[in-house]
Amino acid sequence: MNRRSFLKALGLLSLLGLMGAAAGCKHEKQTAAPKVWTVKMGTPKHELVFVPDRLRIRPGDTVRWVLEADAHSATAYHPKNHNRKEPRIPQGAEPWDSQILSTIGASFSHTFTIEGVYHYYCIPHEGVGMVGAVVVGRALDGPGLAPPQEDLPIATKRKLEELIAWAKELK
Ligand SMILES: [Cu+2]
Protein backbone atom coordinates (compact mmCIF):
# COMPACT_ATOMS: atom_id res chain seq x y z
CA MET A 1 0.00 0.00 0.00
CA ASN A 2 1.48 3.36 -0.99
CA ARG A 3 1.21 6.45 1.14
CA ARG A 4 -1.67 7.95 -0.81
CA SER A 5 -3.91 4.90 -0.64
CA PHE A 6 -2.98 4.46 3.00
CA LEU A 7 -4.23 8.01 3.74
CA LYS A 8 -7.37 7.33 1.69
CA ALA A 9 -8.05 4.18 3.68
CA LEU A 10 -7.46 6.08 6.90
CA GLY A 11 -9.92 8.77 5.81
CA LEU A 12 -12.54 6.18 4.98
CA LEU A 13 -12.04 4.48 8.31
CA SER A 14 -12.55 7.69 10.30
CA LEU A 15 -15.63 8.52 8.22
CA LEU A 16 -17.06 5.10 9.05
CA GLY A 17 -16.19 5.73 12.69
CA LEU A 18 -18.06 9.04 12.67
CA MET A 19 -21.10 7.45 11.04
CA GLY A 20 -21.04 4.72 13.63
CA ALA A 21 -20.85 7.26 16.44
CA ALA A 22 -23.76 9.24 14.97
CA ALA A 23 -25.84 6.09 14.61
CA GLY A 24 -24.92 5.16 18.17
CA CYS A 25 -26.18 8.50 19.46
CA LYS A 26 -29.48 8.16 17.67
CA HIS A 27 -29.87 4.63 18.91
CA GLU A 28 -29.22 5.73 22.49
CA LYS A 29 -31.76 8.54 22.22
CA GLN A 30 -34.48 6.25 20.91
CA THR A 31 -33.99 3.58 23.53
CA ALA A 32 -33.44 5.86 26.59
CA ALA A 33 -34.74 3.86 29.52
CA PRO A 34 -37.93 5.21 31.10
CA LYS A 35 -37.26 7.19 34.29
CA VAL A 36 -38.91 7.15 37.67
CA TRP A 37 -39.30 10.66 39.12
CA THR A 38 -39.95 11.31 42.80
CA VAL A 39 -42.31 13.98 44.14
CA LYS A 40 -42.43 14.49 47.91
CA MET A 41 -45.82 15.09 49.47
CA GLY A 42 -45.48 17.60 52.30
CA THR A 43 -42.28 18.60 54.08
CA PRO A 44 -40.76 17.94 57.52
CA LYS A 45 -41.81 21.55 58.36
CA HIS A 46 -45.43 20.55 57.59
CA GLU A 47 -45.75 22.76 54.53
CA LEU A 48 -48.71 21.83 52.36
CA VAL A 49 -46.90 21.43 49.06
CA PHE A 50 -45.67 18.94 46.48
CA VAL A 51 -41.88 19.06 46.04
CA PRO A 52 -41.26 19.67 43.20
CA ASP A 53 -44.70 21.02 42.29
CA ARG A 54 -43.98 20.78 38.53
CA LEU A 55 -42.21 18.15 36.49
CA ARG A 56 -41.44 17.69 32.84
CA ILE A 57 -41.05 14.06 31.87
CA ARG A 58 -41.12 11.86 28.77
CA PRO A 59 -43.88 9.50 27.65
CA GLY A 60 -43.30 6.16 29.40
CA ASP A 61 -41.82 7.77 32.54
CA THR A 62 -43.28 7.17 35.99
CA VAL A 63 -43.92 9.62 38.81
CA ARG A 64 -43.70 8.25 42.33
CA TRP A 65 -45.27 10.37 45.08
CA VAL A 66 -43.78 9.72 48.50
CA LEU A 67 -45.30 10.89 51.78
CA GLU A 68 -42.82 13.08 53.69
CA ALA A 69 -45.11 14.25 56.48
CA ASP A 70 -48.73 14.54 57.58
CA ALA A 71 -51.43 13.11 55.29
CA HIS A 72 -51.77 13.94 51.61
CA SER A 73 -53.00 12.60 48.29
CA ALA A 74 -52.02 13.03 44.65
CA THR A 75 -55.30 13.05 42.74
CA ALA A 76 -55.74 13.87 39.07
CA TYR A 77 -58.36 16.47 38.13
CA HIS A 78 -60.79 14.16 36.38
CA PRO A 79 -64.53 13.40 36.60
CA LYS A 80 -63.68 9.84 37.69
CA ASN A 81 -62.11 11.27 40.85
CA HIS A 82 -64.49 12.59 43.52
CA ASN A 83 -66.95 13.93 40.94
CA ARG A 84 -64.63 16.65 39.69
CA LYS A 85 -66.56 18.43 36.97
CA GLU A 86 -63.77 19.21 34.55
CA PRO A 87 -60.70 17.18 33.68
CA ARG A 88 -57.32 18.90 33.74
CA ILE A 89 -55.46 16.04 32.06
CA PRO A 90 -55.24 15.21 28.32
CA GLN A 91 -58.22 13.61 26.64
CA GLY A 92 -57.92 9.82 26.74
CA ALA A 93 -55.29 9.87 29.50
CA GLU A 94 -55.79 7.59 32.48
CA PRO A 95 -56.64 9.47 35.71
CA TRP A 96 -54.99 8.45 38.99
CA ASP A 97 -55.78 8.84 42.68
CA SER A 98 -53.39 7.79 45.42
CA GLN A 99 -56.15 8.26 48.03
CA ILE A 100 -54.98 9.92 51.23
CA LEU A 101 -51.66 8.47 52.38
CA SER A 102 -50.92 8.80 56.09
CA THR A 103 -47.92 6.53 56.72
CA ILE A 104 -44.60 8.37 56.33
CA GLY A 105 -42.71 6.84 53.42
CA ALA A 106 -45.83 5.43 51.79
CA SER A 107 -45.87 5.95 48.05
CA PHE A 108 -48.01 5.81 44.95
CA SER A 109 -46.79 5.55 41.36
CA HIS A 110 -48.35 6.40 38.02
CA THR A 111 -46.88 5.87 34.55
CA PHE A 112 -47.67 8.50 31.93
CA THR A 113 -48.01 7.53 28.28
CA ILE A 114 -50.02 10.34 26.67
CA GLU A 115 -48.34 13.67 25.88
CA GLY A 116 -49.70 16.87 27.33
CA VAL A 117 -50.36 18.85 30.50
CA TYR A 118 -51.66 17.21 33.68
CA HIS A 119 -52.80 18.83 36.93
CA TYR A 120 -53.44 17.07 40.20
CA TYR A 121 -54.35 18.08 43.74
CA CYS A 122 -54.22 16.91 47.32
CA ILE A 123 -57.71 16.00 48.58
CA PRO A 124 -57.46 17.67 52.04
CA HIS A 125 -55.32 20.65 50.95
CA GLU A 126 -56.47 21.62 47.47
CA GLY A 127 -58.13 24.71 48.93
CA VAL A 128 -54.80 26.11 50.16
CA GLY A 129 -53.17 25.55 46.77
CA MET A 130 -51.62 22.09 47.20
CA VAL A 131 -51.69 21.42 43.47
CA GLY A 132 -49.06 20.06 41.09
CA ALA A 133 -48.35 19.73 37.37
CA VAL A 134 -46.77 17.14 35.13
CA VAL A 135 -45.95 17.92 31.51
CA VAL A 136 -45.41 14.76 29.49
CA GLY A 137 -43.42 15.45 26.33
CA ARG A 138 -44.83 18.55 24.64
CA ALA A 139 -47.24 20.92 26.42
CA LEU A 140 -49.98 20.25 23.85
CA ASP A 141 -53.25 22.16 23.89
CA GLY A 142 -55.83 20.42 26.05
CA PRO A 143 -57.72 20.61 29.34
CA GLY A 144 -54.47 21.30 31.25
CA LEU A 145 -53.98 24.62 29.45
CA ALA A 146 -57.56 25.78 29.94
CA PRO A 147 -58.09 28.55 32.54
CA PRO A 148 -58.84 27.28 36.07
CA GLN A 149 -62.50 26.52 36.72
CA GLU A 150 -64.31 29.54 38.17
CA ASP A 151 -65.68 27.72 41.20
CA LEU A 152 -62.27 26.69 42.55
CA PRO A 153 -60.96 28.34 45.75
CA ILE A 154 -58.82 31.42 45.11
CA ALA A 155 -55.53 29.81 46.29
CA THR A 156 -56.18 26.86 44.00
CA LYS A 157 -56.86 29.12 41.02
CA ARG A 158 -53.70 31.15 41.66
CA LYS A 159 -51.56 28.04 41.85
CA LEU A 160 -53.12 26.59 38.67
CA GLU A 161 -52.56 29.89 36.85
CA GLU A 162 -48.88 29.75 37.84
CA LEU A 163 -48.59 26.15 36.62
CA ILE A 164 -50.41 26.93 33.35
CA ALA A 165 -48.03 29.84 32.68
CA TRP A 166 -45.06 27.55 33.34
CA ALA A 167 -46.44 24.86 30.99
CA LYS A 168 -47.04 27.44 28.23
CA GLU A 169 -43.36 28.40 28.40
CA LEU A 170 -42.55 24.81 27.41
CA LYS A 171 -44.56 24.91 24.18
CU1 LIG B 1 -52.01 17.67 51.26
Sheet of 36-41, strand order? 50-51, 36-41, 62-67, 107-111
The pocket of ion ligand 1, defined by CB under 5 A, consists of: 72, 122, 125, 130
The 3-state DSSP class for residue 168 equals helix
Indicate whether 53 pLDDT > 70. Answer: yes
Quick one: residue 94, left, alpha or beta (phi over 0 = left, psi -120 to 50 = alpha)? beta
Distance from the alpha carbon of residue 153 to the mean position of ligand 1, in angstroms: 15
Q: Which of 99, 94, 95 is nearest to 72 (CA)?
A: 99
Please give the average per-residue pLDDT across 118-141, as a whole number.
97
Give the whole-number percent of the chain exceeding pLDDT 70.
82
4-36 pLDDT tens trace: 665 565 555 554 444 444 444 445 455 679 999
Distance 125 CA to ligand 1 centre (A): 4
CA of 124 to the centre of ligand 1 (A): 6
How many A from CA of 69 to the centre of ligand 1? 9
Q: Which amino acid is at 153?
A: P
Distance from residue 41's CA to the centre of ligand 1 (Å)? 7
